[in-house]
Amino acid sequence: MSSIHSKDYRLMIERLRKARIASGFTQLQAAVALNKPQSFISKVENHQRRIDVLELKDFAKIYKIDVSKLL
């Protein structure tokens, strides 16, 4: 059975995780900044939950990077 996540999506999530770490955020700190539970961040980074473009934009905002850096 194939993954529901494409190679490009997996790479985007890896960039997202690296951006969080580079910004100095823990998963909990990122979750608080996004007004989400910590499990939201964990599930996104572990490919258990997909994010939409608006959520991606919110991540980029708190990490202070251009959203294009995540794509």
- Structural domains in the chain (count): 1
- For each of the chain's 71 residues, which pLDDT tens digit applies? 345 678 999 999 999 999 999 999 999 999 999 999 999 999 999 999 999 999 999 999 999 999 999 99
Residue 48 to residue 62: CA distance in whole angstroms: 22
Q: Which pLDDT does position 4 carry in this prediction?
A: 62
Residue 4 to residue 70: CA distance in whole angstroms: 19
- Does the residue 2 lie in any domain? no
- Does the residue 61 lie in any domain? yes
- Does the residue 1 lie in any domain? no
Angle, helix 27-34 to helix 38-45, in steps of 10 degrees: 120
Residue 49 is part of a domain; what is its CATH number?
Answer: 1.10.260.40
Retrieve residue 2's tokens. 């194939």
Q: Which pLDDT does position 57 carry in this prediction?
A: 97
Residue 4 to residue 23: CA distance in whole angstroms: 28
Q: Which pLDDT does position 1 carry in this prediction?
A: 38
Range of the domain at 23: 7-69
